[in-house]
Structure 1
């Protein structure tokens, strides 16, 4: 019996799952439902609907098909001024007749001041999955993984708040840390806080 007509097919998942799967399970088309690992954190990017809309619009403009966008209900954080956000996005892009699926998770915290979102922090988790029958197609999946990651990072970076906008209360916490460590005198710390409040109109 000749096996010359048999075509080998395997599934490439990038980045690799946390626990290595055996080649048999992948070649049989098993689906890995575990969440992708956290790739990067974007400070001063609010994980809200506007950010998700910009990311999905960028992907659509680059010929990616966004199949699903699911938002988990916002959850209160341990911090009174913070809200936890979570978005699950999935889609596909075709390389010829070969589909490459992607799974993107945007999560993080949205910081509020007086009921208005003033800043945030977004974490990006991204993975791609595609079947391949040759080294050339496998290489294309790797290239698509890198290309997709650059596009998402670029879209998220464009959502950053204006320079100088910091996480709510971060300056006051920095002054408190310097004071506690003895690197800042108490009277100077009080002067700095008073000057910041006067300059930006932050009065209780």
Structure 2
């Protein structure tokens, strides 16, 4: 089974092609560039390079997996719209995956884990995981000081160093992590982004009336 994996939920622009056989995910090619302002410019060129390096055609792909956040509005939309378009064009299922789940799946620490990424505004997106990798809390968005760490052994993600825990050196969702966290045998869930909070931009209110 060949799976395209895309993620734009963090500053990393990620595209990869992963082979899945007997329940194991193996990377065939990937491109990752950390640039929070270039998701729209880099994602499809990255995917084109990935397919060329792997020597595969888009018509051979069986599914698409995409990071559904949590993440900022603009970047997150780029990945999800691209994944939806590919799924429609190739007539293959598109599976959304929580990016924090993907990091936890790649970390596979065998111990309780906290995954935290940058939510800006001095906050983090975070989720907690049991030793078997199942999510126990989250995803949520809070200030680092408000995140509970009792019983947690290690931390992963961009903001892992804020919690006084053993740091697992995985900052962003990887293609293999995304595919591992996806349930490819189940019907895909709706492509609903995990924003977790309202956007910074607000619709303008009604114009003030000018008294005569």
* TM value normalised by structure 2: 0.26
From the two aligned structures, give the one with the greater helix fraction: 1
* TM value normalised by structure 1: 0.27
Determine which structure has more spread, i.e. the larger CA radius of gyration: 1
